[in-house]
Copies of this chain bind each other. A is one copy, B any other.
């Protein structure tokens, strides 16, 4: 049986996983809102971010409370600080979904995404959604192998991000500056979202193995 302290540590993990669930859902809806120019969905994502922020604040309060009351030693201390960091990354990922939703709202009733970019943006959204889903699984299961997979997903996001610029900067681009500005920012939001997912997974890998992912040549 686990004592109250370790139950509180487990509840931190549950809260982090719940954040990934909310962020995944927000990102899925933000991408749909962006592609379909769906104002109602954008508004949902924007107002729903409060729930992510509340969990972040609750995690911070719990961590400070546990630290003050329990005087945890090295291993648990690292777990607690890592929880704070993961929570910070996930909170920021929620903000990035909000930024994408705001891009959709700003351009409504038009779509911010010209037809020749719809497939690329859809794919970036799918990778983002897959990455945050994996992040949740990695936090819940401490699955190092899946954690390391996120690097490959991130590489794929970077490739799509470059393709976005290739299309924007091609002589065939006929949509002018305003959609180019929107797409430039949206691309940046997807890229940062992926970076934060990698960062969360790196923290889990580090907690489990004591090594940063770049130091791992063979799986434990």
Contacts and interface: CB of A to CB of B under 8 A. Distances in A.
A169 interface: yes
Contacts of A9: none
Interface stretch (A22-30, A118-126, A135-143, A175-183): A175-183
Contacts of A177: 168-169, 173, 176-177, 180
A152 B200 CA distance: 33
Contacts of A64: 74, 77-78, 81
A67 interface: yes
A78 B74 CA distance: 17
Contacts of A173: 177
A67 to B, nearest CB: 5
A188 B188 CA distance: 9
Given A177-B176, A180-B181, A184-B184, A77 B81 contact: no
Contact of A77 (B67, B74, B184): B67
A81 B84 contact: yes
